[in-house]
Chain A
Amino acid sequence: MTVAVSSRGDAAPPFIHMDIGHDVYAAVTDPNTAFWALVDKTRIHEEIAGGSLLDGYRTKADSFARELHALRFELKPSGVYLNPTERCNLNCTYCYLPGEQRSGGSHMPAEILNASLGKLRDYFRSVMPEGRKPRAIFHGAEPLMNKEAVFSAIDAFSDDFVFGLQTNGTLLDDAAMEFLTSRNVSIGLSLDGPFAGITDATRQTWGGKSVHDKVLAAMEKLKGYGSWSVITTCTTENLPYLTRMVELFHASEVPTCMLNTVRCTLPGARGVKPADGDMSKAFFAAMDRTHELYRETGRKLMVANFANILIGILAPTARRLMCDISPCGGGRAFFALAADGGLYPCSEFIGLPRFNGGNLLAAGGVEAALTSAAFQTVTTRDVDTFSPCGDCAIRHFCGSPCPAEAHEMNGGMEKTGAFCEFYKDQVNYALRLIADGKANDYLWDGWDEETETVFNHALN
């Protein structure tokens, strides 16, 4: 529930009062600057009406507004998702890539991949500070279907990019594992269930074979590696098992996982979309379990998608992932290269030809794509400008992701994403953690080492 509360004076910030479900605290926010405060519920009206909180905030509001504006509108791309093939050996229920591409599509030839990386290197050098490397993530379909080209490119451009690879894990044999880990490539796996019967409900080969055990084997091999993660896509099929998932991940020493809501861009995904309330209930039970496991063992399992929400509240500019912000990072902080050379704001759009911003190797390349109508349709999607987001207290902790599913599922860029209520619940959960002094338990140790505290108000 949100309630607008009037503050003293003509220049009063438009604080919005939120019930976060906490025994002691409610929240107030100025959504224009992503400012928040937790206030004793018995004192909420007097604190908002005037006093040191309001006075302190007024001295910082302009700088917070500038900071948020820079984050939302002034970033240059620093990452690219590379799709080296259209093919995949799996046929997952919710994939955002068209089935005909995944079953019978083409590989990007090695020489084209190398030429593409050369052009991308030159582009990133032109926009990134000297000494910082762009991120290049090989991505699906299944990039290891075109392994020789991918590995050749990683060796050829090892000085120019920090590489990652998101894979279904089924082709990650010992040689591939050795190649990738010896080159410090970040590796992302996907697993949807704590046991085969659940994983198989959404992730199988085209012939209907289970891949669950192969992913478990890959996880076992990656124990001790410093940069790997596992994505669970949350659907109606695995929602009752999310707590079991985090128990499996913790026992397997997975350093970081993501419990991502299914992206509903293509119709197949919508058939396994959970209701927001069901998603919240299962997700927070799993989050609570990660905290219990941390307290029991002293070892954290990071749930990165939630950690990003939490960091977005505590330190808006320190967030790592750029889905939960408006405009989203697609087409401005990162972009995607399809196997046919087409540029898209994000891999999520590769199945939607109208969002093709041109070919990387054509004249204009990245710069032309970034200014194309296809990209700007995405990069100008601004939650401040459409309802109901424009009046929402948490719109800059959420960003109303994702534009692809807003467009395809809900009918336009000026529509909400697929999980509006779940995002509100996540923000409330995060604020309750802050109120209870538990926030750092859900974040990486040292997550704030490169930050400075610019506001700290604690009246006693």
Chain B
Amino acid sequence: MQQAKHKQHPQTATTVPAVPAPVIAVRKSCNPDGIGLSHYVLMDKKAAK
């Protein structure tokens, strides 16, 4: 098992190994405070025009 504190995309199209890894298991975590809406409208980006 490896742990990392830095930002790291688990997968991208350019990082798929030629020989597939036997196991892929990734989990990220953050503080969930301040989120929480239903599927009706997403308010995730800062508005700008």
Tell me the chain B residues, 1-23 only, with Cβ under 8 Å from chain A. Answer: 1-17, 19-23
The interface residues of chain A lying within 8 Å CB-to-CB of B5 are 452-453
- How many A-B pairs have beta carbons closer than 8 Å: the answer is 246
Looking at A30-38, A87-95, A375-383, the stretch in contact with chain B turns out to be: A30-38
Interface residue range, chain A? 35 or more
How distant is the Cα of A36 from the Cα of B36 in the complex, in angstroms?
23
Let me know if A85 is at the binding interface, CB within 8 A. no
Q: Is the interface of B mostly helix, strand, loop or mixed?
A: loop
Q: Which of B2, B6, B11, B32 has the most CB of A within 10 A?
A: B32
Per-residue 0/1 for A441-460: is the Cβ within 8 Å of any B Cβ (1 yes, 0 no)?
A: 10010001111111111111
Looking at A144-152, A252-260, A268-276, the stretch in contact with chain B turns out to be: A252-260
B36 touches A79 (CB 8 A): yes
Tell me the chain A residues, 111-132 only, with Cβ under 8 Å from chain B. Answer: 128-129, 132
Contact partner, B38, options A71, A132, A347, A439, Cβ 8 Å? A347
How distant is the Cα of A38 from the Cα of B20 in the complex, in angstroms?
11
Q: Which of B3, B14, B15, B28 has the most CB of A within 10 A?
A: B28
Q: Is the interface of A mostly helix, strand, loop or mixed?
A: mixed
Distance of A253 from chain B, by nearest CB (Å): 12
Contact partner, B21, options A165, A186, A441, A458, Cβ 8 Å? A458
A132 touches B34 (CB 8 A): yes
Let me know if A56 is at the binding interface, CB within 8 A. yes
Contact partner, B41, options A60, A78, A166, A314, Cβ 8 Å? A166
The interface residues of chain B lying within 8 Å CB-to-CB of A70 are 32
Q: Which of A129, A229, A328, A347 has the most CB of B within 10 A?
A: A229
Distance of B33 from chain A, by nearest CB (Å): 6
Known: A75-B32, A186-B45, A317-B32. 5 other contacts (CB 8 A): A40-B22, A60-B1, A137-B41, A231-B41, A458-B2
Q: List 14 A-B contacts (CB under 8 A).
A: A53-B1, A129-B33, A139-B41, A184-B47, A226-B45, A315-B28, A322-B37, A437-B16, A444-B45, A453-B6, A455-B25, A457-B26, A459-B21, A460-B17
- Residues of B bordering A, CB below 8 Å: 1-17, 19-49
